[in-house]
Structure 1
Amino acid sequence: MHFTRRHLLQTTGASALLASIGQQAFAQAAALETTNIITGFAAGGTSDTICRRVAQKLQPAFAKAAVVENRTGAGGQIAISYVKGRPADGGTILQTPTSMLTIYPHIYSKLPYDPVNDLTPLSLGCVFDFGFAVGPAVPASVKNIADFLAWAKANPAGANFGSPAAGSTPHFVGALIGQHGGVELKHAAYRGTQPAMLDLLGGNISAVSGPIGDITQHLASGKIRILSVSGAKRSRFAPEVPTLVEQGLPDMAHSEWFAFFLPAKASPELVTRLNGHMKTALASQDVIDGLATFGLEAMSSSPQELAEILKKDTAKWGPIVKKVGFKAES
């Protein structure tokens, strides 16, 4: 089964209706005292913001208190490893970019978790594109990807970029940009995009590849410029910025999902009930508008749809990882 952004956006409206029906059906279920939403990335970034907005909507109907925990490190692996060991009773929910589940199996010889067997798919949370931005370390004459690659080739000391994690989708986007221009762009991995943006603003690195919303929130500083976006079409959050495909980089249309999971062996009843709450939260206008300020398009799914997306994307990234040639240390 093939899923496209259009298909999933169309199903969001239906999901909202089903969520409404589901909420009525589960209205009698007792609320938990506390549920913890775990993210592997720092506070203030896109991963953190969707957790906090959804958490607000889960209380008090699903849990009397919903708490967000930022368990950063190892490119998101620490958070996933923590969740897999928790009881599958709804008290712990994982929110993660899907690259930790679809790309990491191709780059690590051994992972501390099994993306399929250690987690229970719950729902998509949002979809977003990546931006490639430069800062004060790069001359103002650099206005597009071709300019940057030419400058990087002439200035090898500045041929670098940061991303939110080694082996993440934005890491590979940056690496593929370098390959296209025949330039080895040195990669710096951070614990989330925001720390990378701070180094970009300070002139400590030349560029950042990260979620578009993590970049656009810094445009007001006047210190950074977005050279490209990674989606199949221009982002509504940066409509003046051309895509990588428009700039002559074929096969470079990459978006990503944030999604929610429970530990493995969660009961079907719990999955159905929490999926209904998630769909209601993600269909709320204030959540939709709030996520949009971070460049995120709110989107829910059924657990089965999420499982299919993970399977498809895992297969997609195998050849890309092989082309880039990156292998992470276990």
Structure 2
Amino acid sequence: MDRRTLLTTLAAGATAAAAPWARAQGYPEQLIRWIVPYPAGGGTDVIARTLAEAMRQTLGQQIIIDNRPGASTNIGADLVAKSKPDGYTIMSADNALLAFNEYLYSKLPFNPAKDFSYIGAIGKFPLALVVNPAFPAQDFKSFLAYVKANPGKVNYASPGNGSPHHLAMELFKNHTGTFITHIPYRGAAPAMADVMGGQVPCMFLDLASGLSIMQSKKVRVLAIGSGARSKLLPDVPTLAEVGVPHTEVFAFQGILGPAGLSPAVVNRLNADLNRAFGAPAVQKHFNDFGMEAMPGSPEQFAALSRAESQRWGPIIKAANIKLD
């Protein structure tokens, strides 16, 4: 290779290497579409809209929310996985996409570990074991004794097959050697209504959906599946405190983009997300939902997602839970 050819080749390589950075320098140059794989008005939608407004102020560009519900978030996820990796299509992702669906479905049109760019975690909220106030058990110890004395005779509600609430109880059953029968509902609201009404005696309930009925004593909270007691429910012991260790159960959310996003774009979005946690409106909604913000790096979010996938895979397989 002569000197002129060598210089031309080196220049071309430098230009190619600098292209993503050059694009990121002007990013964002148009509005950003944020896919929410749930209907408008729910907790995930509210959190996304609140964060989008806070991030808009620092990104200097409009962020529009596009609700694409269905198939346990797979419809929205497939759209994002197949979108152009330019930073203008991102999505809210939770336990379903990040940890559960690869085991719940025999085949997915995408690979959660390979077909997305992990931008950052949003937050997590623990699930708590609740019972109808008329249920004979007054505390966790008596609840455990009752279900052990009545195997298969106690039912529990969940918002649906494969939900974090469903899998939380399966993990609990696995760790306590109990047999409680699953009654799936279509959403958290009808499941909560039947627990409050006494049609089904118990369930694992997330703070985002059920904090108000927990605080108003419409259900009795026996234990919470977090590493430490919640500031919002300080009198409720953790599962570890009542003798069930290694049973931390929580729902978590984060932001993904399609695979191949420029590192500079990922880092820009991550920085603006972390900055948004300080916005008063974001802090208010997080507090209202009992949600703990999870500022951190894209790498930390990816590691959490993969660790949760590895934790829940054996539980899903052992319970033989399938959604197709």
> TM class, shorter-chain normalised?
0.7 to 0.9
Call closer, same or farther: CA 1:121–1:146 in 2, change over 3 Å: same
Q: Which residue of 2 aligns with 1:33?
A: 31
Structure 1 distance, partners of 2:118, 2:248, is 25
Q: Deviations over 1:111-160 (max 9, x none)?
A: 23210222110001012211121236xx2542233433454567778622
Structure 1 distance, partners of 2:65, 2:185, is 20
Which of 129, 137, 142 pairs up with 1:142?
Answer: 137
Matched, 1:58 2:64: no
Call closer, same or farther: CA 1:204–1:81 in 2, change over 3 Å: farther
Matched, 1:86 2:83: yes
**Bigger shift: residues 313-322 or 87-96:** 313-322
Call closer, same or farther: CA 1:80–1:201 in 2, change over 3 Å: farther
Structure 2 distance, partners of 1:140, 1:198, is 15
Q: Which residue of 2 aligns with 1:225?
A: 220
Instruction: Answer yes or no: is the 8 Å Cα contact 1:42–1:48 preserved in 2.
Output: yes
Displacement of 1:291: 0.3
Structure 1 residue runs of 5 or longer lacking an equivalent are 1-25
Q: Which residue of 1 aligns with 2:232?
A: 237
1:168-183 matches, within 5 Å, as 168-180=163-175, 182-183=177-178
Call closer, same or farther: CA 1:104–1:120 in 2, change over 3 Å: same
Structure 2 distance, partners of 1:197, 1:166, is 15
Is the partner of 2:48 in helix, strand or coil? helix
Structure 1 distance, partners of 2:310, 2:175, is 23
Displacement of 1:36: 2.5
Q: Which residue of 2 aligns with 1:306?
A: 301
Give the letter for the 1:48 counterpart: D
Structure 1 distance, partners of 2:149, 2:39, is 34
Q: CA RMSD in A?
A: 3.0
Matched, 1:97 2:94: yes
Displacement of 1:172: 2.0
Instruction: Answer yes or no: is the 8 Å Cα contact 1:120–1:263 preserved in 2.
Output: yes
Question: Identity of counterpart residues, as a percentage?
Answer: 31
Call closer, same or farther: CA 1:292–1:228 in 2, change over 3 Å: same
Q: Which residue of 2 aligns with 1:326?
A: 320
Give the letter for the 1:301 counterpart: G
Matched, 1:122 2:132: no
Give the letter for the 1:85 counterpart: K
Matched, 1:215 2:180: no
Instruction: Answer yes or no: is the 8 Å Cα contact 2:37–2:70 preserved in 1.
Output: no
| TM-score for both structures, normalised by structure 1 | 0.78
Is the partner of 2:166 in helix, strand or coil? helix
Instruction: Answer yes or no: is the 8 Å Cα contact 1:31–1:63 preserved in 2.
Output: no
Matched, 1:273 2:268: yes
Is the partner of 1:127 in helix, strand or coil? strand
Q: Which residue of 2 aligns with 1:131?
A: 128
Give the letter for the 1:167 counterpart: G
Is the partner of 1:32 in helix, strand or coil? coil
Instruction: Answer yes or no: is the 8 Å Cα contact 1:37–1:92 preserved in 2.
Output: yes
Call closer, same or farther: CA 1:326–1:243 in 2, change over 3 Å: farther
Structure 1 distance, partners of 2:56, 2:129, is 37
Displacement of 1:107: 3.8
Give the letter for the 1:326 counterpart: N
Matched, 1:71 2:68: yes
Is the partner of 2:120 in helix, strand or coil? strand
Structure 1 distance, partners of 2:322, 2:254, is 23
Structure 2 residue runs of 5 or longer lacking an equivalent are 1-23
Structure 1 distance, partners of 2:305, 2:202, is 29
Instruction: Answer yes or no: is the 8 Å Cα contact 1:73–1:191 preserved in 2.
Output: no
Structure 1 distance, partners of 2:198, 2:40, is 21
Structure 2 distance, partners of 1:213, 1:141, is 26
Pick the structure with greater CA Rg: 2
Is the partner of 1:248 in helix, strand or coil? coil
Q: Which residue of 2 aligns with 1:44?
A: 42
Structure 2 distance, partners of 1:247, 1:130, is 15
| TM-score for both structures, normalised by structure 2 | 0.79
Displacement of 1:250: 2.8
Structure 2 distance, partners of 1:109, 1:169, is 19
Call closer, same or farther: CA 1:29–1:68 in 2, change over 3 Å: closer
Q: Deviations over 1:287-330 (max 9, x none)?
A: 123201211011222212222222333333344445x4333143
Structure 2 distance, partners of 1:63, 1:76, is 29
Q: Deviations over 1:138-190 (max 9, x none)?
A: x2542233433454567778622233443343322212333455443222444
